[in-house]
Structure 1
Amino acid sequence: MKAIHVWDNSFDKYWVNGLAKISGATPMYSLGVRQFDHEIFSSILKQDDSFVVLSDSGEILALVPLYCFKDDMGLLEYRYAGEYLRAPLIDGFPSSKRYEKIQKFVFSYIEDLAREKKVISHKTMVEAVELIEGRYYYNYLTDFGYNDESSVCQLIDSSKDIDYLWADIRKSYRPLINRAEKNFSCEIVSFDNYSFDKCEEYRKLHFKATGRQTRDLKSFYLMYDMVKNKQAFISFVIEKDDQIVASHFFYVLGAYCLYASSAIDPDMPHDCGIGHFGMWQGIKTAHDMGCSFIDMGQLRLTSNPSDKEMNIALFKKGFGGRTVTVFRGTKTFFK
């Protein structure tokens, strides 16, 4: 086995082909999200050591995201800014000897790389679909010396019929959605009706909601590229005067969808239901696109969440689905 790193000219080709081949490739592994990451983390990302594992015959065996950041003391860590990197994607099924051989190679290679580059630790997480789809029922990271730091996320089975998905929404949310549906319209922008100008409405609303430009323009343009390239869609809520008052951005890759971000017009009443309506339209869109699961995101990023984080978690859980364990872990290479 050998590793092809991000600085190799063939890396992108192998990565994209691996996404199409390996089970469990969620949107956070997509090339579009990687390009977005490089932009939003450009001032703090010290190096990208991500790699693809190939067999001697050139078969793609694993995809390994590996971003390196400095901590507050100037020490290098493999992580996703302040959060956990997605775990290695490995071809095959975990019970096979072939899989175990690839897995051992991957984690040994990560450790060798860390020791060579003086990276003190690796923070990583296993996507919840690995548990739901039966590939892992326990935190296998502990087998490789990682401390168990598992959390939970909210996962919606969007393969269910629309009536089931509607009934699964929190009872108090449904009147809000129904009221908003009477007073507002919704437009979904995806690859089949892509418009740069329409996507720009997402950025403008994001600017209005935050009161300032929080990111470089290029990061938004990369998000638009994801829409154009079938890796994302936007749910817009529109007032009767054609004013966009809410937008929800969803990543998509294969059978998986991920709720990424949203922006709500701060001038709108808090009880008008536009946030709930836009989210529901996004769920319906993911269902219509044939997505099996919608990941609403982790509900506990830290062991001591703030009131704001708790409120966000409560909001996400209101759209139904199941609260699922996210296996996470940190391994320290240097004490």
Structure 2
Amino acid sequence: MMLETERKAHFFTINEIWFSDYPFDIKGYDGVIFRECKNNVDVPGFHKDEFTTLVIDLTQELDQIFMDMTASYRKAIRRAEKNGIVIKKSADYDVFYDINQRFRKQKKLSSYDGGVDVRYMEKYGTLFTAEIEGEVVAGYLDLEDEKNIRGLLGASLRFEADKDKMRSIADANKLMTWEEIKYAKEKGITEYDLGGYYTGAEKDEEKERINYFKQGFGGKLVTHYIYQKDYSIAYKLAKNMHKQIQKMKYGKQHA
């Protein structure tokens, strides 16, 4: 059980594998990355990093999962349903891509999409969107295999909205996550991964706000592992150079 993806990094081709139990060699690529591995192992040639995230156990009853959310989140979900916010499992990849690019610009993040373009979304992703009066205002892109679903990208138009619409978009985001959970449980998926939890020593208000948002859904804090191996010397040099440029341009948190 795993999801094998391929993405381009300029002139290089990277194999990115999600939810594998262990890393292993892959031929024919400039590099390989194993993400969301649950086992802590040492494999020659692979660099290992820890990754902390929040995971919701989907083997529980839906009522229990809902009750584990904070009262304010349950209220927001009910309010979003009452106000007619529409959540769809969607194919509006180009619309969401545009929202995500605008969202990143407004947050002063790099516009580099990490290879997660419209083609990548269509081939590998599961997209949910939220609509208010027929307008797509937010979306979440997930990756999944038979037993796992993991949030990869989330973006909205909240920076472009007035105060009332901003509140509606906030409610829509919570309802969207709830609909993702229900979708995954119905498919027999056993874990919903909220896509990371910041545990760095340095204070980072933006990442701490994201932590606060994710905490409201409940879940258990766990450690997963990322394994990387570079097969191409040119790719390794280019990757290190890119990190240095990002660090100088956007600061340490975006390197």
Match of 2:236 in 1: none
- Give 5+ residue unaligned stretches, structure 2: 229-255
Preserved CA contact (<8 Å) 1:79 1:123: no
Give me the CA root mean square deviation: 3.7
Query: How far is 1:161 from its partner?
Result: 1.9
> 2:73 & 2:173 partners in 1: Cα distance?
10
TM-score (norm 2): 0.68
Rounded to whole Å, the distance in 2 between the matches of 1:159 and 1:208 is 37
Question: What's 1:188 paired with?
Answer: 89
How many angstroms apart in 2 are the aligned matches of 1:309 and 1:50?
A: 24
- Going from structure 1 to structure 2, the CA distance change for 1:168 and 1:281 (only over 3 Å counts) comes to same
Q: Match of 2:66?
A: 166
Q: Aligned runs of 1:50-199 on 2, under 5 Å?
A: 63-64=24-25, 86=35, 107-108=43-44, 110=45, 122-125=47-50, 152-183=52-83, 184-189=85-90, 195=91, 198-199=92-93
Identity %: 17
**Structure 1 ranges of 4+ moved more than 6 A:** 87-90
How big is the shift at 1:310?
0.8
Compute the displacement of 1:286 (Å).
1.2
Does structure 2 conserve the Cα–Cα contact (< 8 Å) formed by 1:79 and 1:124?
A: no
Evaluate the alpha carbon distance shift between residue 327 and residue 239 of structure 1 in structure 2; reply closer, same or farther with a 3 A threshold: closer
Residue 328 of structure 1, CA deviation: 7.4
The offset of 1:199, in angstroms, is 2.2
Separation in 2, partners of 1:172, 1:87 = 30
Structure 1 residue 187: Cα displacement: 1.0
Residue identity matched to 1:287:
K
Pairing 1:308–2:200 present: no
Note the C-alpha offset of 1:207.
Answer: 3.3
Deviations 1:76-126 (A, max 9, x none): xx996xxxx548799xxx9xxxxxxxx77xx23x27xxxxxxxxxx2334x
2:143 corresponds to: 251
CA contact (8 A) 2:48 2:225 kept: no
Q: How does 1:174-323 map to 2 (within 5 A)?
A: 174-183=74-83, 184-189=85-90, 195=91, 198-211=92-105, 214-215=111-112, 219-226=117-124, 232-240=125-133, 242-266=134-158, 267-268=160-161, 269-272=165-168, 273-300=171-198, 302-323=200-221
Contact map agreement 1:251 1:260 (CA 8 A) in 2? yes
Instruction: Please state how far the C-alpha of 1:245 moved relative to its aligned partner.
Output: 1.0
Measure the CA separation in 2 of the matches of 1:260 and 1:49.
16
User: Offset at 1:317?
Assistant: 1.4
How far apart in 1 are the matches of 2:65 and 2:214?
14
Unmatched tracts of structure 1, length 5 or more: 1-19, 52-60, 70-77, 95-102, 112-121, 126-150, 190-194, 227-231, 331-335
Taking the aligned partners of 1:206 and 1:309, their CA distance within structure 2 comes to: 17
Asked if structure 1 preserves the Cα contact closer than 8 Å seen for 2:37 and 2:226, the reply is no
Count of residues paired in the alignment: 212
Match of 2:153, as an amino acid?
S
